[in-house]
Amino acid sequence: MSVTSRYRAAWESFWSEAPGGQGAVFWDAEPMLTAGRHLAHFEPHLTDPALPLVDLGCGNGTQTRYFAERFPHVVGADLSAAALDHARRADPAGWAAYRQLDAADKAEAETLHAELGDANLYVRGVLHQCEPDDRQPLADALAALLGARGRAFLVEPAQAARTVLADLAQGPDGPPAKLAPVLRHGLTPGAVPDEAVPEHLRTAGLTVLATGELPLVTTEYTPDGTRIELPSRWVVAGRGV
């Protein structure tokens, strides 16, 4: 099973129009405010930090490059070829590798696993953007990439984030400048129940090892200068304990 052509086209269109440079899109916050915070919760659960690390849904690769400074083999994977073009241009030294991947297609995940072996995964805000029918296939593909030894860190906007985004979109001046393109391309977050994320992982045969809550930092600000943060939940999962 793979993502719909509409969904793929929406991401290609978004990234083709997105300006270059770190921080140009809504969710592209500085790594120390995103991946850096997440890594503090992820690293204690890694059974083998030397495994390849796949940044799934890497976009323009900001977080990928952060990981590439800390792990020996990092792969940024994304559905969008245009996103990967951004990522490669921002990484001229080739600190990370980049790979186009339909993460809802288990066969593609199995092919990548055959190349890399077991891998650790960082997945930020991908499941909530999936079409409902693609959410379990995505979890199944994550399990295929992890293999027996890998660990996955998923962070997704909580249900409460939808209210925050709706309020921003309906403000008197319209949505903030960096949120507007997200909405225009039809990339609005799906209503994924908070309990659904760990349940999808368990259905895929994974064990939930830890959970928690953190604000998901964005690059946008309210008119009074307050940085916009979305409530989010994170999960660490893998096979066994």
Q: What are the pLDDT digits (tens) for 31-65?
A: 999 999 999 999 999 999 999 999 999 999 999 99
Partners of 122 in beta bridges: 55, 153
DSSP letters, 134-162, are GHHHHHHHHHHHHTTT-EEEEEEE-HHHH
Report the predicted TM-score, pTM, of the whole model to 2 decimal places.
Answer: 0.94
Residue range 86-123, pLDDT digits in tens = 999 999 999 999 999 999 999 999 999 999 999 999 99
Look at residue 228 and tell me whether its pLDDT is greater than 80. Answer: yes
Give, in order, the Cα–Cα distances in Å from 189 to each of 70, 130, 225: 30, 9, 24
Per-residue CA distances from 4 to 11, 74, 125, 204 (Å): 11, 27, 18, 21
SS3 at position 40: helix
Given its phi and psi angles, is residue 240 left (phi above 0), alpha (psi -120 to 50 degrees) or beta? left
The pair of three-digit structure tokens given for residue 88, joined into one six-digit string:
């490669």
Q: d(Cα 190, Cα 157) in Å, to the nearest integer?
A: 10
In the structure encoding, which two tokens stand for residue 152, read together? Answer: 């996955």
CA-closest candidate to residue 156, choices 117, 106, 199, 204: 199
DSSP 30: -
Averaged pLDDT of the chain:
91
For residue range 116-162, what is the model confidence (pLDDT) as tens digits?
999 999 999 898 888 888 899 999 999 999 999 999 999 999 888 88
**63's tokens:** 């977080």
CA distance 138 to 21: 29
